[in-house]
Chains A and B, each alone.
Chain A
Amino acid sequence: MKLSRRSFIKASVATGVIAAGAGGTKPMLQALAENSGKENKQVSEGEWRPTVCQGCTTWCAVQVKVVNGRAVKVRGNPHSKANNHDGKVCPRAHLSLQQVYDPDRIKTPMKRTNPKKGRNEDPQFVPITWDEAIDEIAEKFLELRKNNEPHKFVLMRGRYTYLREILYGAFPKLIGSPNSISHSALCAEAEKFGSYYTEHYWGYRDYDLRNTRYVILWGADPLASNRQVPHAMNVWGEVMDRAKVAVIDPRLSVTAAKADEWLPVIPGEDGALATAMAHVILTEGLWNKSFVGDFVDGVNRFKQGETVDPETFQENLTYGLVRWWNLELKDRTPQWAEQKAGIPAEQIIRVAREFAEAAPKAISWLSPGTSMQVRGGYAAMAAHALNGLVGSVDNVGGTIRSAKYPTQAIPSVEPFMDDIAKAGNKHHKVDQRGYKEFPALKKGKSGKGVVTNRLADAILDEDPYEVKMAIGYWNNFTFSCAGASRWEKALEKLPFFVHITTHPSEMAMFADIVLPAAHHLYERLGYIESKANTISYIAMNQRVIEPVWDVRIDETEIPWMIAEKLAEKGFTNVLDYFKSIKDPETGKTPTNSWEFSEYVLKTMTQPIWDPAIKTEGDQFSGWEEFKKVGIWNSEPYKFRNKWKDFGTKTGKFEFYSETLKAALEHHAEKHNTNVDDIMKVTKYQARGELAFVPHYEEPFRWGDEKEYPFIFVEHRSRLNREARSANCQWYQEFKDVDPGDERWDDVAKINPVDAGKLGLKTGDKIRLKSPTGEIECTAKVWEGVRPGTIVKCYGQGHWAYGRIAAKDFKKRMPRGGNNNELLPADYERLSGSTVRHGGVTRVKVEKL
């Protein structure tokens, strides 16, 4: 550093200019500025401004109270007809106040100065300007393109708004990469598998809770998580008045604690319960005759152990009932299920009977708990098939879908793709989807679904090819993927990684450049589509406060900035495409990143706010009014519309899935083999036609029972903002709102019987070991877990997520342990879903 240069500062001091004894000079200000005079006294009562909370998958329309530029309170948007009756919202939304004003946030672009990467390597980050950061990123893109390998770039997406169409949709294509890899397979693709291969619906269901008379919750805990939480909290009193609730969960969840029936199933044995319930419904003649059909002569031939002649049964809106019975159900007695699932036969019979008697106002509510098991795909089908048996599919008081969301697409990128981009996009996607052992049969097509967690192995093995550059946004795969340590290795290997994030994270630890993202609830533009209470809605993320730090919108502003830089350097296609998206009101071309974001948002939502375009649901006079209200609500759901044609191969609700059969056969053909072989490589037990019907599969577990005596169960917190809230003080202070959990701690819940055998008491420090990993946490002796299981909430165990989340960052010491370091990286391969439930691993406990 040169000291000789007489800088401005030195000259200023020497001549007294800083202090300015001489009158008339101005003070030398950097952080402060003379008041513009407009807002001298900005004392105000505050104003409620609309935006969206994406702390969980509910995606609530909310309002933020802003007083003097500061966000002080959050509530549900009173205009919402779906989730937020009278402005109510769940605890997660309130926690967001501590996220947005967290002193540990990423505040400015930063660059790593230590080239070595690893958990114990200090990245030695230093701040750089946005221009420097974007310049370096643009150079890397140009280098890949120059070498004709733009496909070696991967875009990793975690949570998102629908403005993902820019960063995740258009941008990689224009560069020349097919590798837009979403997080979806971490979420619940196996759950969607259940509804798709019965009723052709690849999506989360809505439920007509207000009219229902019976609810079976398969691991779902709607009062706490997954999904439409505020709606569930609001109506649950009514539900309990009118309906019976049965919860199938090895843990006494929030909802189980209030339920009529608790069935603490042996993890992963849900399929036994579902098939046995179907058995009861059929043998007792309780199926919905108008929906399913009946025996031609009205005589019930569904008798235990006896096959039925398909000719004797006349089906109505379903397909393959008799074949399902003959292939699977005839021997699935409640007594058999009792042995498998550890639930008394009489309880299984009672729940099945009362569920069917409530038909069609009966809900069999599927969740990841049942499906995210190595062999969970068929359990998901079986649980959802119960809705078919009682005719509650698409029906009043039953399980339904969403109304149409009146949005429109942004223009095609096709005309803006040059030859390098076109060639790059022809490569196979990098996550191994569609490989023989990874069918990922999203919507009936081999390799259409994502296999998110496999990306780590793809990077490590360079299979199908090397990855040289990646951008990750709104994600933290190093924490959120089972087998998390593989991700640390993969990111160590990755030559250039950019992480766009609001908070420091385990993934940012491995970044070459970290970019500060605008917080979704307070600082950005975007929109979401969601549903609850028979209403579908679209709500907008809006900038309700001026951001404290120098943040940008991940999905639109950052790609715009990169596009500008690429254009400066001679590659104009991305910017040309972006500029083709005009303001739909004025026709203006965007001139900066913010205008671009707004024009994309306006374009996509135009059918909602533009009175010239006729749509159903809430009406608006124009853009300004839509912005002010912040949410569009659909008309109430129109029941039974799908009954005409579910969209399956047969048009019916399929108990024998011709749709799945076609998908599996196609996948087998692609790999020159047969379906039995596909079953084998995907770890399923079914052979022959069993592969096409919902059926029982023994749960697949890692670890030998002798060495690892306990089945590990994980669950969600009512305070988790998708594992992003652990640095909020309120999260830690109120952690005991999760039944059995403790404040400021991370506990493994153990039944008193087991604890007694192990000599453990509450508060003991313990180590949990699985065949693939180990973590440390605190023991909690609690009656609310099934003996033989160890139950632990997901969300704690951060070692790099800020001062509160980690116990001691310097020592990389987490607060508690991350379940994903214990869980093996395994899959429900037919959907591509990662697995974490259904007791996918066994563990042993060591007292420390």
Chain B
Amino acid sequence: MAEAVTNNEIRANVYKLLSLCYQQPDEDLGDIVVSLAEQLCKVYLELAEPAGKLVQQLPEDAAAVQQLQVDHAKLFIGPFDLLAPPYGSVYLEEKRKVMGDTTMEVIAAYQEAGLQLDENFKEPPDHIVAELEFMYFLIFKELQGEATVSRQKRFLERYLQPWAEPFCRKIIENAATDFYKITAEITRNFIRQDLELLSR
């Protein structure tokens, strides 16, 4: 199976950059998005077009930045109607809550890989940012010579991919900006393809 997995460096970069895309938008966003587009162009040709569009959606002035920040808050932070809860357990379990049983399993997966939540990261462990970063980390380890492909596949298949679908759907349905709609589309398709790749 390991032979089937190529382009690990690009995969790692894409996971990391996607993770960064879900953080609160700041002055780094432009570079993140441009880099993401560059990375995707190299291998994921059908994602190159949306990635290009994403670059075009980058805010050009302060008002646009604020608009993006408001949209980001409404989708992923709240308050009031949290439009796209970025937490795995909300989708994977019946009760609409964080810190569910699947969250505990995700913590265990992190621990198995020698990781824990950073103390400055004030969100549940199955937050989209953390899970995308975890995939990056596993591939990074693979690049360093540690065999992690089966762990990658298991995590993606059991945890990230099943909720990334409805999560991205919620973003596409509810985002006020095209920026997040496109980000969601890229995320969903990339993760889908990556799982296929790992399952080959």
Which residues in A have some Cβ–Cβ distance to B below 8 Å?
Answer: 1-3, 5-10, 13-14, 16, 18-21, 23, 27-36, 40-42, 68, 70-71, 97-98, 101-108, 110, 113, 124-127, 503-504, 508-509, 514, 547-550, 729, 800, 802-804, 806, 809-810
- Contacts of B34 on A, CB cut-off 8 Å? 3, 10
Are B66 and A31 interface neighbours, CB within 8 A?
A: no
**Interface membership of B183, Cβ < 8 A:** no
Known: A35-B111, A127-B24. A107 touches B96 (CB 8 A): no
Partner of B9, one of A21, A106, A802: A21
A28 B123 Cβ-Cβ under 8 A = no
Bound state CA distance, A97 and B31, in angstroms? 41
Task: Determine if A5 and B122 form an interchain contact, defined as CB atoms under 8 angstroms apart.
Answer: no
Residues B27 and A23 in contact, CB atoms below 8 Å apart = no
Determine whether the beta carbon of A102 is less than 8 Å from that of B97: yes
User: Which residues of B121-176 are within 8 A (CB) of A?
Assistant: 121-124, 127, 129-130, 133-134, 136-137, 139-141, 143-145
Q: Which of B104-131 contact A (CB under 8 A)?
A: 104, 107, 110-111, 114-119, 121-124, 127, 129-130
B65: Cβ under 8 A from any A Cβ: yes
C-alpha gap A71/B100 in the complex (Å): 10
B79 touches A28 (CB 8 A): no
Q: Say whether B38 faces chain A, with CB atoms less than 8 Å apart.
A: yes
Q: Is B47 an interface residue (CB 8 A)?
A: no
Q: Which of A16, A41, A104, A509 has the most CB of B within 10 A?
A: A104
| Complex contact B116–A36 (CB within 8 A) | yes
5 shortest A-B CB distances, which residue pairs? Answer: A504-B79, A550-B122, A10-B31, A31-B130, A809-B81
In the complex, what residues of A have CB within 8 A of residue B98's CB? 101-103, 548
Contacting pair B99 A802 (CB below 8 A)? no
Q: Which residues on the A side are within 8 Å of B65 (C-beta)?
A: 1
CB of B104 within 8 A of CB of A68, answer: yes
B186 at the interface (CB under 8 A from A): no
Would A126 and B99 count as touching, CB distance under 8 A? no
Interface string of B62-86 (1 = CB under 8 A from A): 0011100110110001111110010
Whether the Cβ atoms of B95 and A104 lie closer than 8 Å is no
Are A32 and B110 closer than 8 Å at their CB atoms? yes
Q: Which residue of A lies closest to B12 (CB)?
A: A19
A9 in complex: contacting residue of B20, B60, B145, CB < 8 Å: B20
With A19-B13, A548-B98, A548-B124 known as contacts, the answer to whether A32 contacts B134 (CB < 8 A) is yes
Cα distance A97–B95 when bound, in Å?
A: 11
CA distance A124 to B70 in the complex (A): 6
Tell me the bound Cα distance from A33 to B122 in angstroms. Answer: 13
Mark B2-20 against chain A: 1 for CB-CB distance below 8 A, else 0: 0000001110110011011
Interfacial chain A residues near B95, Cβ < 8 Å = 98, 729
Complex Cα distance A509/B80, Å?
A: 8
**B87 → chain A, closest Cβ, in Å?**
6
- Cα-based distance from A571 to B150 in the complex (angstroms): 59
**A27 and B111 alpha carbons, distance in the complex (Å):** 16
Residues on A with C-beta less than 8 A from B69 are 113, 126-127
A sample of 12 cross-chain residue pairs with beta-carbon separation below 8 angstroms, ordered by A number, consists of A9-B28, A16-B9, A18-B12, A30-B121, A32-B115, A36-B116, A41-B111, A68-B104, A106-B78, A108-B122, A126-B70, A803-B82
Given contacts A31-B117, A31-B121, A107-B122, contact A802 B80 (CB under 8 A): yes
Q: Indicate whether A27 sits within 8 Å of B136 (C-beta atoms), given known contacts A18-B16, A107-B77.
A: yes
Collect the chain B residues with CB atoms within 8 Å of residue A5's CB. Answer: 27, 30-31
Let me know if A13 and B35 touch, CB within 8 A: yes
**Chain A residues, Cβ within 8 Å of B136:** 18, 27
Given contacts A7-B27, A31-B121, 5 further A-B contacts (CB under 8 A): A1-B27, A1-B64, A18-B16, A32-B133, A102-B98
Cβ–Cβ contact A110 & B73, under 8 A: yes
Per DSSP, chain A at the interface is loop
Residues of B near A70 (CB, < 8 A) are: 99, 103-104
Give A385 Cβ to nearest chain B Cβ, in Å.
48
C-alpha gap A32/B81 in the complex (Å): 27
| Contact for A103 among B24, B72, B87, CB less than 8 A | B87
CB closest chain-B residue, reference A501: B79
Smallest CB gap from A548: residue in B: B124
> Is A29's CB under 8 angstroms from B137's CB?
yes
Complex contact A20–B143 (CB within 8 A): yes
B41 at the interface (CB under 8 A from A): no
**A13 to B30 Cα, complex, angstroms:** 13
A35 to B104: give the CA distance in the assembly, Å.
16
Cβ of B96 and Cβ of A729 under 8 Å apart? yes
A40 cross-chain contacts in B, Cβ below 8 A:
111
Q: Which of A7, A30, A127, A503 contacts B129 (CB 8 A)?
A: A30
A32 CA to B69 CA, complexed, in Å:
23
Q: Are B79 and A34 within 8 A (Cβ)?
A: no
| B23 interface hit (Cβ, 8 Å) | yes
Does any Cβ of A come within 8 Å of B39's Cβ? Answer: yes
Q: Which residues from 22 to 74 on chain B have a C-beta closer than 8 Å to any C-beta of chain A?
A: 23-24, 27-32, 34-35, 38-39, 58-61, 64-66, 69-70, 72-73
Contact B82 A33 (CB under 8 A): no
Query: Bound complex: CA of A102 vs CA of B87, how far in Å?
Result: 11
Q: Is the CB of B107 within 8 A of A68?
A: yes
Contact of A1 among B58, B85, B111 (CB under 8 A): B58
> By CB atoms of chain B within 10 A, which of A2, A16, A103, A549 has the most?
A103
CA distance in complex: A550, B130 (Å): 16
Query: In the complex the two chains form, is A3's CB within 8 Å of B58's CB?
Result: yes
Known: A70-B99, A106-B79, A804-B96. A31 touches B127 (CB 8 A): yes
